[in-house]
Amino acid sequence: MKAVVAGAGAWGTAFACVLSARGHDVTLACRDAEQAREIAETGRNPRYLPDADLTGIEATTLDDPAIAGADLHVVAVPSTAFAEVVRGLPGAAPVLSLTKGLDPATGERLSTLVERRSVAVLSGPNFAEEIVDGLPAAAVIASENEALTLELQQAINSLAFRVYANDDPVGVELCAAAKNVMALAAGGVDGLGLGDNAKAALIARGLAEMARLGEACGARAETFSGMAGMGDLMVTCWSRHGRNRRAGELIARGMSPDDAAAEIGQVVEGLTTAPALRDLARRNGVELPITEAVCEVLNGASLNELVSGLMGRKPTDE
């Protein structure tokens, strides 16, 4: 398969390695010519995952007409750039979205922005740093097009990267977006030193929020107990690699959201997704207290007061 990975950040770089290891013809399409030149000349991506060996992977820019000849366009760009990048992709190849967020302009799922071509989404507990080290990982691919799902599963699955098929793209995308918001909250628990009991409780209630919103949007409940839901939520909330968890921790310790993102030096999707997720829930009449609290903190509210407010809510059934 001839695949173009649009987006040469950490996850795009790691996924290009996954495809290349499976023997596919891979091109990494960068947003600027200098990054493409550095990758082509050195076989490394000096900006992200510089230890990843990109030998055999071509590098070009997103505006290169040559990418029109791909059999698959993999999109691994921030949610803020997703719509623009997808609109600019030449040709009619299917799109596989790796982006975990919602469209900040409309609040819609990102796959709904892909027009006139088939689309699938991939998600799961997939930190790029571990992927390029060859550590075992698993993910799920979902699409309304069953043939595309199965074709991509066969093309990507390997001994190091196990791929499950799923027919619930709504649930998979909502899991991918919401888990970053919950990770911000989990980082806040870390930053305040509230302990593992509090963090585990928050994650459990966060998963309940995710499933509640998913059900209102037509997703299947079991998706939220799978790779895209529970799997990705756990690793994002606990791992030292988690940008969103780290951002929440820094904010809890007094940094502004902008300063926290600058300190991390990479995109923190939860900061963009939180208000979009809150608004989506409100449109569907779904109560998301953790998400609402995260948005209030991002707008300057006291985290300690919000913790007290969440703990002081009227007791209810699980």
Catalytic positions are 179
CA distances from 282 to 12, 113, 126, 286, 307 (A): 32, 21, 30, 6, 21
62 and 40 in contact (C-beta within 8 Å)? no
Sheet with 72-75, strands from edge to edge, namely: 58-61, 25-30, 2-6, 72-75, 95-97, 119-123, 137-142, 161-166
Exposed, middle or buried, 311 (CB in 10 Å: 0-12/13-18/19+)?
exposed
Exposed, middle or buried, 228 (CB in 10 Å: 0-12/13-18/19+)?
buried
Q: Supply the DSSP symbol for 193.
A: T
One-letter amino acid for residue 291 of the chain: T
